[in-house]
Amino acid sequence: MLDEFEVSESSSASFDIKKFLFRALSYWKIFLVLLVVGCFLVYQKNIREEFSYRLGTKISVEDDSNPLFTSNASLTFNWGGVTSKIQTMIVTLKSRSHHEKVVDRLEFYKSYLKQGRFRKQDIYKAAPFRFDHDYDSPQLINIPIKITFLDADSYELQVEFLNPTVQVQSYLTKEISNVDVPVGVFKKQFKFGDLVELPFLKGVLRLAENRKAIAGDTYFLQFSNFDNVVSSYQGRTSVANTNNSPILDISLIDKNTEKIVDYLNTLVAVLSEDQLNRKNQYATNAIAFIDEQISRVKNELSDNAEALNDYRKKTKIYSLDSESETLNEKLTKLDGEKESINRQLSYYSNLKNYLLTSSTFTEIPAPSIAGISDANILNNVAKINDLSVQKSKLQYSVRSDASVFNDLNRQIEGLKNVLQENISSATNALRRELETVNSSLSKVESQFSKLPEDQQQLITIERQYSLSEQTYNVFLAKRGEAEIIKASNVSDILVIDPAKNTGATVLGRNLNIRYVFAFFAALLIPLLVAFVLTFLDNNIHSPVDVEQLSTIPLLGVIGKNNLDDNLVVHRKPKSAVAESFRAIRSNLQYYYKTQDLEGAKTLMVTSSVSGEGKTFCSINVATVFALSGKKTMLLGLDLRKPKIFGDFNIKNDIGVVNYLIGQESLESVIQHTHIEHLDVITSGPVPPNPSELLINERLGQLLTILKTQYDYIVLDTPPIGLVADALELLDYVDASLYVIRQDYTKKGMLNFINEKYKTKQIKNISLIYNGYDQKAKYGYGYGYGYGYGYGYGNYANGYHDDDRKNKGFLKRVKSFLGFNSSRFKQS
């Protein structure tokens, strides 16, 4: 039976919205506590909030061509147009290598801090000192170094070491290493301007310009990991280009606005310098190449001049005759043309070899150095150089297998093929031109051979000198041209709005919204607790629960007993609880009358499990019958767990068990109580076979005899949900009361008795709601029990001796009982 009861219990669970709401409302104190705690935590968090700021700068990417460029003199090239430049600029501004240059230049890996109310704050330029560190020496990272001014000339350096080794970094090589340090607080005093030379720190601390040391002032110096600082600034820098315009908006987020201004302006300055350097790359390469050629030709020119002077001194011939002079001019001119052609052929040969063997094309000398003016060669060299520059820049920020690299490689490969065809075509043309020059030169040299030998020798030496001089002058002219172009180049970066703190955008949420979140969190927690407890709660908490769970009529509602025993009707006859039992008596008498029962009446009181107040109800129902002047017998048939004897101060040595086994007579087991007209038969000693005793014929004989002596017989039986004993007694009684206790009885416990009632195995049964408390934590209570008894509420003043706190309970009980009495009568 117990197994059947437990299985059915789980099936009866349902979620009660009303109970959930009342339970949640009962947690209002928890809500207030959580709200106060939440608001306090939000307040503490708000006052500790450190805001970040956003500032920006605006630049324009121009396509400034040098006005000194000509088709023949150009040593630099337009490398890709504005669109290509913008993409290159965006990639550059986002690249790690670019941010490394900015952080290095600004030394932002070094921070000057001052202890604030809640944290160390970066004061940047507001610090009254500067620390010029040794770049090649390792510096302590990630641990603040405390600087305390002692007087106008000295300070104390203090570091707390928690571990025997610390990390240091050289900001020249960026190498990180470990050094041993003493665990604990390290202190040492220095003079301003003195060299600080420690294993973990090296440099000179100087007072800032126009600043004085105030004794007692404390600051902090902290070095950070270079790579971490770069990553931080790289992640907080954003670059925007709207609608592919030449305008770039660069912004940075930081907690110090002065740092934002300096970083953004330096970011743009470094970009402008790098761009100008790339723009001057051709001129720079040309100047380097020309300088090498000038050095070589200069030596040749010097040697030829010396040879010419020596020959003139030796032969005393200082000038040529008119015929020799004419031949010399022709030979010199043809030699110059031949030298120019050979120089171009040599450039083409070197360029072709460079294209075949090199993977980068950023160092190709300008073709105009060799006197090449072919527009196809000039444009294609410029394009391949530009693509190579883009590829080298993308290597810092784009993966090598990215599609952009494949696209650049295809374009470079196509230009290489085109250039090789251009070189072949130009080389063939130059070779034909060289053959013509050589033919002309042979004719002049045949005339030259007819001159006197000394004239021939002088002309030969002058030819070599003139050729070297022409070559030297050409390279000097080219070098001058390159210097002019390099000096006249301007950056394509135009700063429209430099970074300036004219009103930084404060980044951060509306802090007051946190109070709203605190409110909802404080509200949500009790709601969740109430929901979980309501969902898991399977107890009966109000009479309305009983009405929803069972069709068995509810005969009465009993209030909470605050006495130290069960004799509430006897000790407090004017209490609301006593009046509730009187109402039950009235309903029972009405029921007996409608059933046409004459003579003695029997009543059985049972429940689902132990602890629901079955014995309490049995005693007080029997008491109200006795107080009405009716002879009443209270028969204790809970043979397993007898209780009723304690409240009447009688013994349980002998009882119904002794009678049922024939050990004692009826007169010997009947005990009189101090309540008039109420007798008791206790259960007696606990037998080994209680169920068998209750189905014994002697129990029927006992009840038959008692009916001849008493008007009412009340049976206190075992819980029907635990044992089958009470079921055996149903045939002996006229009516049964099934006790349910508030906040104790489980909903599923009613399934068993409901099933028996539905199948008509049990008849003439009613429910008693025990332990009703209108101030229970779930808030149920009002609206139940009107009509049973009389004299409650404002009309009952002076009729009950309940405590003031219980006033109003009986009014509800009366109404509820009155409401349900009709159900009882109809059933």
Alpha-carbon distance of 402 to 790, in angstroms, equals 92
Quick one: 341 and 312 in the same domain?
A: yes
pLDDT band at 820 (very low <50, low <70, confident <90, very high): very low
H-run or E-run covering 244:
none
Helices (H), 215-256: 226-236
Q: SS3 of 388, please?
A: helix
54 within some domain: no
Tokens representing 568? 């509430």
Structural domain ending residue among the three candidates 224, 245, 273: 224
Quick one: 533 and 549 in the same domain?
A: no
Quick one: 574 and 666 in the same domain?
A: yes
Residue of 249, 197, 196, 308 whose CA lies nearest to 90:
249
533 within some domain: yes
Alpha-carbon distance of 462 to 347, in angstroms, equals 27
Quick one: 773 and 806 in the same domain?
A: yes
Residue 75: per-residue pLDDT: 44
H-run or E-run covering 208:
none
Residue 8: per-residue pLDDT: 41
Q: How many distinct structural domains can be found in the chain?
A: 4
Quick one: 592 and 716 in the same domain?
A: yes
Least confident segment among 181-190, 504-513, 684-693: 504-513
Quick one: 560 and 461 in the same domain?
A: no
70 within some domain: no
User: What confidence tens digit (pLDDT) does each residue in 111-140 have?
Assistant: 999 998 888 888 988 899 999 999 989 999
Quick one: 703 and 645 in the same domain?
A: yes
Residue 668: per-residue pLDDT: 92
**What does DSSP say about strands 110-115 and 218-223: parallel, antiparallel, or unpaired?**
antiparallel
Cβ-Cβ contacts under 8 Å for 304 (sequence gap 6 or more): 461, 464, 465, 468
pLDDT band at 799 (very low <50, low <70, confident <90, very high): very low
Mean pLDDT, residues 529-535:
86
User: What confidence tens digit (pLDDT) does each residue in 398-409 have?
Assistant: 555 556 667 777
99 within some domain: no
User: What confidence tens digit (pLDDT) does each residue in 753-772 have?
Assistant: 888 889 888 888 999 999 88
CATH value at residue 731: 3.40.50.300
98 within some domain: no
Tokens representing 115? 């202890």
Quick one: 410 and 551 in the same domain?
A: no
Structural domain ending residue among the three candidates 196, 224, 252: 224
Quick one: 400 and 477 in the same domain?
A: yes
Asked whether the predicted pLDDT for residue 52 surpasses 90, the reply is no
319 within some domain: yes
C-alpha to C-alpha distances, 520 to 27, 526, 532, nearest whole angstrom? 15, 10, 18
User: What confidence tens digit (pLDDT) does each residue in 286-324 have?
Assistant: 777 777 777 777 777 777 777 767 666 666 555 555 656
Q: pTM of the prediction?
A: 0.52
Quick one: 568 and 691 in the same domain?
A: yes
407 within some domain: yes
Quick one: 693 and 568 in the same domain?
A: yes
Alpha-carbon distance of 525 to 29, in angstroms, equals 12
Structural domain ending residue among the three candidates 177, 202, 224: 224
The boundaries of the domain holding residue 139 are: 110-224
Mean pLDDT, residues 235-260:
87
Asked whether the predicted pLDDT for residue 776 surpasses 70, the reply is no
Residue % of the chain over a pLDDT of 90: 30
Q: Rounded to the nearest 5°, which phi and psi values hold at 601?
A: -115, 140
719 within some domain: yes
Residue of 660, 642, 727 whose CA lies nearest to 699:
660
Asked whether the predicted pLDDT for residue 788 surpasses 50, the reply is no
Quick one: 122 and 3 in the same domain?
A: no
